[in-house]
């Protein structure tokens, strides 16, 4: 059980934690042979926050939200190439 003093200290620290700098995420879009293979290859990569798989202009794509401080677009492309599914790096939709 926490003492009232320890609880008060934690509550005072909470606003600072809520305002801690959140990394600015970026988006990269890749045309792939199989979006399931691409999504699986990217999902566990440090710095990848989310992978959406779908279709754009008749192509299978992986749209990747990532932290540029932890992973580069070149590294994302490299992972897809090694998985054998990369086709092209596309401009990301706004």
| 12-45 pLDDT, tens digit each | 665 655 555 657 999 999 999 999 999 999 999 9
pTM: 0.74
* Domain residue ranges in the chain: 22-90
Identify the pLDDT of residue 75.
97
* The pLDDT value given to residue 8: 59
Residue 65 has pLDDT above 60, yes or no: yes
Q: Average the pLDDT over 47-74 and give the result.
A: 96
| Top CATH class, 22-90 | alpha beta
Phi, psi of 50 (to 5 degrees): -155, 150
């Amino acid at each position: 059980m926490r003492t009232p003093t320890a609880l008060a200290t934690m509550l005072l620290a909470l606003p600072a934690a809520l305002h801690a700098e959140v990394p600015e995420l970026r988006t990269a879009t890749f045309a792939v042979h199989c979006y399931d293979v691409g999504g699986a290859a990217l999902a566990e990569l440090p710095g990848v926050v989310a992978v959406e798989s779908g279709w754009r202009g008749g192509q299978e794509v992986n749209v990747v939200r990532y932290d540029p401080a932890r992973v580069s677009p070149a590294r994302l492309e490299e992972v897809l190439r090694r998985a054998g599914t990369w086709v092209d790096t596309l401009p990301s939709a706004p």
